[in-house]
Amino acid sequence: MNAESERMPEPGDPPMIRRRWHVSLIWLVPAVAALIGMSMLARAWLSVGPEISVTFRTANGLQAGKTLVKFKEVTVGMVSEITLDEDGSHVVATISLDKKAENLTRADTRFWVVRPRIGTHGVSGVDTLLSGAYIGVDGGSSIVTSKRFTGLEAPPAVSGDTPGRSFVLHTDDLGSLDIGSPVYYRRVQVGRVTSSRLDEDGRRVRLQIFIDAPHDRFVTSNTRFWNASGVDVSLGADGFRLKTQSIATIVSGGIAFATPEHNPGDPISENARYVLASDQASAMAPPDGPAQYIRLCFEQPLQGLSIGAPVLFSGVNLGKVVSMTLDYDEVKRRFLTMVGIQIYPERLGRVLKKLQRPDADPQRQIAGFLSDMVAHGLRAQARSGNLLTGQLYVSIEYVPNAPKVAFDESARPLTLPTASGGLDHIQERIASIVGKIDRLPIEAIGKKLGRIVDKIDGLPFGSIGENLDTALKDMNGTLLVLDRALRQLDDQVLPETVKTLRDAQRTLDTADGMLAEDAPLRHDLTQTLREAQRAARSLRVLTDFLGRYPESLLRGRRDEHVDVPPSPAPDMPREPERN
């Protein structure tokens, strides 16, 4: 309509321009809307991060479109899909990560499901009780990125960006250690076990531990690690001692390390290897060095000697028994016990340095060393270490007057001659005891005893007996007389006594009655006493009166005197009231 009306006059340029301008203004609205829409679209498209898939053993707690992926508690993505993998053994969670979380696709990024966990190391993930499980991420450092990851079943003990270093420990068995077990340095927790697995050959367990910075610098080339699990109870001269790192280690195990004070060692690089000792004492002991295998051949049976029994030299523990086998000597027709021992010459310390002749081959070196000593009477003996249990140990000692034996320096393994020590030892002792008994002057003792007996024999036993007999007879008569006297006493004197006592009782009762509170005698006595009191008072009045008026004795009492004494006058009427 509008257009029509404007067409009717002369169609001029200015209104056309004005109209076009006018139209374009309102079309700005959809243009702006389109712009906004496009920008939103672009933003959405740009913010779409990479999509990765993580395999888990179970999808417990995971929910497609709900479960979040969190890195340091910041949401970085969401599980978009959960499917089973081809063979159905695992679940594959497809995660759409945010754009900003692109660096979480590094190949060594770790994923795990955060669920409530209760363990010996504490409680974690309690917040997920209400909010549901989420997937935790720990960023990696690898340059290679990946789209497929394998989720961990347990949260990693150490997150990737924690400052510190990890080290490798080797141990014979894992004990109660576990991932997350604490590592202590001077009883301060400075790290934890991050992984444990068997060596390829299955002979040892390889533990990876992580020491937090700055404590990782305490680990040096000379550091010793030991298993601090459980309780170490010892009973020594200073009393009962109980050692443990912390209550937690009793339950869950732990590792402790220390560096010998006198030899701090050098700084060491990451992933250095150490041996985990079973306890502090063995960890801190000086290193044993290479072991030497030596064979001993005993002719006597060795019940009580067990594998692991110590080998002592001058009281120093040099090694242990590692094998025991039976052998047969065809010439002597005897069974022999072959005992293999392992000795650590390093344990001799400075003695070794003094005695040793330098040689490249340690076996030959020790052979030469031993051959000297064997020539001087060094022998191995099986000795009884504990009389109660009968445990034996091997003692290497100089035996005096030992028969000379040939020592083969070239034999491998070396065979150290033995002396049938332990049992002979006991025999010797018994022999010496028997000898002592032998030396006792038994004959002289016998003679003296004989003389004493003779003297006793010489005594006049017959006359003594007769005398004794008469004395006893007399005594019997005396006793009879005494008996009679006592009976008389019983018959006559006692009834009399009873009677007398009864009379006395009666007399006493009477006396008691007389003296009683309401007895007439007592009443009379009181009366009499009162009378006497009154008489005494009258007498006093009389004397007072006479003292004042002596003339009245002569002249008699005058009436005007009567009211003169003031004191007795008021007393008089009071007298009867008092009584």
Question: Do the beta carbons of residue 25 and residue 31 sit within 8 Å?
Answer: no
Question: Do the beta carbons of residue 112 and residue 133 sit within 8 Å?
Answer: no
Ramachandran sector of residue 433 (left: φ over 0; alpha: ψ -120 to 50; beta: rest): alpha
Place of tokens 């445990």: 391
Q: Which is nearer to other proteins, 5 or 401 (CB)?
A: 5
Q: How far is the CB of 130 from other proteins (least distance, A)?
A: 4
Q: How far is the CB of 6 from other proteins (least distance, A)?
A: 10
Q: Which is nearer to other proteins, 32 or 154 (CB)?
A: 32
CB atoms within 10 A of CB 370: 20
Q: Which is nearer to other proteins, 75 or 467 (CB)?
A: 75
Q: Which is nearer to other proteins, 65 or 570 (CB)?
A: 65
Q: Which of 321, 316, 270 is nearest to 295 (CA)?
A: 321
DSSP-derived 3-state class of residue 429:
helix
Q: How far is the CB of 10 from other proteins (least distance, A)?
A: 13
Q: How far is the CB of 150 from other proteins (least distance, A)?
A: 26
Classify residue 245 as exposed, middle or buried by CB count within 10 Å of its CB (0-12, 13-18, 19+). buried
- Report residue 35 as tokens: 């712009």
> What is the rounded distance in angstroms from the CA atom of residue 420 to the CA atom of residue 394?
11
What is the distance in angstroms between the CA of the first residue and the CA of the last residue of the chain?
A: 156
Q: Which is nearer to other proteins, 2 or 89 (CB)?
A: 2
Q: How far is the CB of 84 from other proteins (least distance, A)?
A: 23
Q: Where on the chain is the footprint of other proteins (CB under 8 A)?
A: 1-2, 5, 8, 22-23, 26-27, 29-30, 32-34, 36-37, 40-41, 44, 65-66, 127, 130-132
Q: Which is nearer to other proteins, 4 or 503 (CB)?
A: 4
Question: Do the beta carbons of residue 273 and residue 229 sit within 8 Å?
Answer: no
Q: How far is the CB of 61 from other proteins (least distance, A)?
A: 11
502-510: long-range contacts at Cβ-Cβ below 8 A with a sequence spacing of 24 or more? none
Q: Which is nearer to other proteins, 23 or 247 (CB)?
A: 23
Q: Which is nearer to other proteins, 37 or 349 (CB)?
A: 37
Place of tokens 């006692």: 494
Q: Which is nearer to other proteins, 8 or 459 (CB)?
A: 8
Q: How far is the CB of 15 from other proteins (least distance, A)?
A: 10
Q: How far is the CB of 65 from other proteins (least distance, A)?
A: 8
CB atoms within 10 A of CB 485: 10
Q: Could you list the beta-strand ranges (E) of 3-146.
A: 48-56, 68-71, 74-84, 91-98, 110-114, 117-119, 122-124, 134-138
DSSP-derived 3-state class of residue 524:
helix
Q: Which is nearer to other proteins, 74 or 494 (CB)?
A: 74
> What is the rounded distance in angstroms from the CA atom of residue 372 to the CA atom of residue 445?
53
Question: Do the beta carbons of residue 91 and residue 99 sit within 8 Å?
Answer: no
Q: Which is nearer to other proteins, 3 or 247 (CB)?
A: 3
Ramachandran sector of residue 55 (left: φ over 0; alpha: ψ -120 to 50; beta: rest): beta
Nearby residues of 69 by Cβ (< 8 Å), 6 or more positions away: 75, 76, 77, 78, 79, 95, 97, 101, 111, 134, 135, 137
Q: How far is the CB of 38 from other proteins (least distance, A)?
A: 9
Q: How far is the CB of 63 from other proteins (least distance, A)?
A: 9
Q: Which is nearer to other proteins, 22 or 555 (CB)?
A: 22
Q: How far is the CB of 36 from other proteins (least distance, A)?
A: 7
- Report residue 63 as tokens: 């929910």
Q: How far is the CB of 129 from other proteins (least distance, A)?
A: 9
> What is the rounded distance in angstroms from the CA atom of residue 207 to the CA atom of residue 174?
8
